[in-house]
Structure 1
Amino acid sequence: MADGTREIVLSAQDLREVTGYAAGSAQEVLKVFERARPADSRPRDAVDAAWAFARGGERGKSLRDAAWAAHRAARDAGTAAAGDAARAAMCAASAAYLHPLADAHQVKHILGAAAHAARAAELVSGGDRGAGAAHLERARRRATPAVVGVLRRYPAAPPGGGRVGELLRDLDEALRSRW
């Protein structure tokens, strides 16, 4: 963590860019959750809410509620892969709530959806880390200069977090060195 008190300037457009990026990552693995829980729309609702915000919608209670609902869906997922897919959806909706503080943990709001989606891809493929790496590479290529610009305002991703944390740090390092 940096000093934790330094404020980072974030515009509404910055938040929309980050949220759209996160929604794209979560969208890639929604089917993992939906195969496990076909009647449960909470993760899809969270991704849809994230896209709505990214495209100009309100950042209000319904967006926050959708994120919490996807979080609960992760607990009900039934498989680890489906749980990570639901967490990716939760991260997508919560990306709109990126805090403007120089705290390394805020990187999770930016890259958490991609990291959880990569982990879901690994788990679906029987633990193949190459599947996670391929997902991260797509996420790296999809990142816009605006997303990388927001990311660079924050300290590097924090330690910990198990395999998802490793994936988060891998993507963080790849994006920071991109331009």
Structure 2
Amino acid sequence: MADGSTAIELSLSELREVTGYAVACARPALAVFERERPDDRRPRSALDVAQAFADGARRTKALRDHAWAAHRAAQETRDAGQAAASDAARAAAHACGAAFLHPLAKATQVKHILASAAHAARALELAAGDDPTVGADHLAQSLLLASPVVADVLRRYPAAPPGGGRVGALIRQLDTSLRSTPTR
């Protein structure tokens, strides 16, 4: 748990683990996006670049570029009234963003760890007619995907911040669940 200091310990291998977790959480929602926009590869490319980093590639500008491209895909689908696809693209963008988790003890940094899972859960909920049980199921799967390293890194940060609508609520729900999971 963060002790109130401004900096926390965070190794490159832990950053890779967190990013791999974010990719694994986001990937199930990719199908939601691709059903609406089968020719738009931006979210898939974002996940691929993030996975490459998690697997050992260097952290380069390509991660930021792909995150922004997936974010633009999210905006475009949102503007087109495709809310589920928008959240799926946001999940992919946040997977890239996980590679840029800062070693600062700030609650906002929790989003770098958990936003991909929360946006994926929301995308799946919306695709199922706004069924919250579908989101809950995805969060349960996300909880199982979290390695002890991911849970340990999360516990170094303050709890997720308030706000953020339904996605914020999903982030806080997953945050609470991961923090209460016994260390393995």
Which residue of the partner structure matches residue 51 of structure 2? Answer: 51
Cα distance change of structure 1 residues 104 and 57 upon mapping to structure 2, 3 Å threshold: same
Does 1:150 pair with 2:153? yes
Which residue of the partner structure matches residue 17 of structure 1? Answer: 17
Which residue of the partner structure matches residue 121 of structure 1? Answer: 124
- Give, in whole Å, the separation in 2 of the partners of 1:49 and 1:116: 19
Which residue of the partner structure matches residue 37 of structure 2? Answer: 37
| 4-13 vs 128-137, which moves further | 4-13
Which residue of the partner structure matches residue 75 of structure 1? Answer: 75
TM-score normalised over the length of structure 2: 0.94
Amino acid at match of 1:93: C
Cα distance change of structure 1 residues 178 and 165 upon mapping to structure 2, 3 Å threshold: same
Does 1:109 pair with 2:104? no
Gaps of 5+ in 1: none
- Give, in whole Å, the separation in 1 of the partners of 2:54 and 2:89: 19
Seq. identity, %: 62
Give the 4+ runs in structure 1 shifted more than 3 A: 2-5
Does 1:100 pair with 2:103? yes
Structure 1 position 76, deviation (Å)? 1.2
Structure 1 position 6, deviation (Å)? 1.4
Q: C-alpha offsets along residues 121-175 of structure 1, whole Å, 9 cap, x if unaligned? A: 1101101100000000000011000000000000000000000000000000000
Is the contact made by 1:4 and 1:101 (CA closer than 8 Å) also made in structure 2?
Answer: no
Mapping of 1:129-168 within 5 angstroms? 129-168=132-171
Structure 1 position 5, deviation (Å)? 5.5
Structure 1 position 9, deviation (Å)? 1.0
- Give, in whole Å, the separation in 2 of the partners of 1:85 and 1:23: 12
Amino acid at match of 1:161: G
Is the contact made by 1:3 and 1:103 (CA closer than 8 Å) also made in structure 2?
Answer: no
Amino acid at match of 2:178: L
- Give, in whole Å, the separation in 2 of the partners of 1:4 and 1:158: 15
Gaps of 5+ in 2: none
Which residue of the partner structure matches residue 63 of structure 2? Answer: 63
